[in-house]
Amino acid sequence: MLNWKSDRKIVLGITGGIAAYKSPEIVRALVKAGCEVEVVLTEGGERFVSPMVLSTLAGRRAWRGCEFLSDDYGWRIPHISLADWADAVVVAPCTAETLANTVQGRGKELLGSILLATGAPVLLCPAMNVNMLNNAATVHNLDILRSRGYHVLDPDSGDLACGYEGKGRLPAPNVILEEMWRAICPDKSLEGKNVLVTAGPTHEYLDPVRFISNPSSGKMGLAMARAAWYRGARVTLVLGPTGISDLSGLEVVRVVSALEMRDAVMSRSAEMDYVVKAAAVGDFRPAEFSSDKIKRRGVDTMKLELVQNPDIAAALGERKRDGQVLIGFAAESSDVLANAADKIRSKRLDYIVANDIAAPGFGFGVDTNSVCLLGADGGSASFSGTKEEVAEGIWDTVLSGR
């Protein structure tokens, strides 16, 4: 399922709420992601944001309310050609009025007619005052739209332009984009499935300020989590300390040490259909933790005693239930395939992703990877590319074997 994000055609509807002032950033994010964007403003939307800003950023005209059913464009039947052209329609921000109109199937404005005519997935991003959002009419309209298959992005909470504080903010452009990819993703084979992914390093503290760790960035695990989420899974990401912040849509459990990671994983593992162990778990931790910072003065050499951490993957293998799939990662610097194959057996995994960390430009900390996926049945497949591409390849293979 490679390249399903490439060259996507997006209709971005902008309606008349104050959050429309953020919509140029959405256009930029879409264009940066390689999408073609047709912007469609409602009359209300146009009061908040200039068509010229939007058309400059989109690199093409922005459709204005007055151009629908006009002598200039009528012959093009814009609502049908845009509805058919789109791979997805995103309405951001989406007002309570537009939600109500969509429930009723009103096509007076160009955007309403596109929504009536399109067969593409539609993502609605409501943004409004908290009382308008909680109003029974809006709640009811959102329920109806969800039941009709519209994707609805939950608004953020915080300061609202009207002076209120509460739910109703338009989420950031990257959050809207991720939700759009999930709506567009052609493979929904993980719908209704629970997936747990571990990612990142662990920190094994010896005193309040010092720890033993490794350079894992968490990017490969995040790519595995995102790819599963795009395919419809409910995804829990057990994440060691990393700088990663772009985690929308995932249920994130932050941990620091291997012991915390073990507890977070084992307490959730029973309900999981797939567990992906992409974390670089510290194999050892200091035997003792000093609650005071260890002093340097008068100490020339120091011996640090380490004890082994529990092997989380092996513990999962021991209590694996029928139908549960365990996928491990093995970062190796020699005898890569033989060592990885050994770990499939010793940890009772279904798959292991073998990673040669001695190869330059791949693995820890970088955005690309080159791996070999080994199956417990003896099968193997190789993938190279961005971590996103590698994750897609791994899921394609794992899911095709089901």
Least separation in angstroms between residue 112's CB and ligand C5P is 50
Nearer to ligand C5P (CB atom), residue 309 or residue 324: 309
Least separation in angstroms between residue 329's CB and ligand C5P is 4
Least separation in angstroms between residue 340's CB and ligand C5P is 8
Least separation in angstroms between residue 393's CB and ligand C5P is 17
**Residue 162 falls in the annotated catalytic set:** yes
**Which among 35, 66, 94, 162 is annotated as catalytic?**
162
Least separation in angstroms between residue 174's CB and ligand C5P is 27
Question: Among 24-32, 71-79, 156-164, 273-281, which window interacts with ligand C5P (CB under 6 A)?
Answer: 273-281
Residues 304-363 that bind ligand C5P (CB under 6 A): 309, 311-313, 328-330, 343
Residues 278-307 that bind ligand C5P (CB under 6 A): 279, 281, 283
Helix/strand/coil (H/E/C) assignment for every residue in the chain: CCCCCCCCEEEEEECCCHHHHHHHHHHHHHHHCCCEEEEEECHHHHHHCCHHHHHHHHCCCEECHHHCCCCCCHHHCHHHHHHHHCCEEEEEEECHHHHHHHHHCCCCCHHHHHHHHCCCCEEEEECCCHHHHHCHHHHHHHHHHHHCCCEECCCEEEECCCCCEEEEECCCHHHHHHHHHHHHCCCCCCCCCEEEEEECECCEEEECCEEECCCCCCHHHHHHHHHHHHCCCEEEEEECCCCCCCCCCCEEEECCCHHHHHHHHHCCHHHCCEEEECCECCCEEECCCCCCCCCCCCCCCCCCCEEECCCHHHHHHHCCCCCCEEEEEEEECCCHHHHHHHHHHHHCCCEEEEEECCCCCCCCCCCEEEEEEEECCCCEEEEEEEHHHHHHHHHHHHHHCC
The sign one gets for the Cα dihedral 386, 389, 391, 393 is negative
Instruction: Give the per-residue contact string, 243-272, with ligand C5P (x = CB under 6 A; - = no).
Output: ---------------x--------------
Tokens 């940890």 correspond to 347
Least separation in angstroms between residue 64's CB and ligand C5P is 54
Nearer to ligand C5P (CB atom), residue 82 or residue 281: 281
Nearer to ligand C5P (CB atom), residue 170 or residue 195: 195
Instruction: Give the per-residue contact string, 218-247, with ligand C5P (x = CB under 6 A; - = no).
Output: ------------------------------
Count, residues near ligand C5P per rule CB under 6 A: 13
Contact residues toward ligand C5P (CB under 6 A) are 258, 277, 279, 281, 283, 309, 311-313, 328-330, 343
> What are the catalytic residues?
162
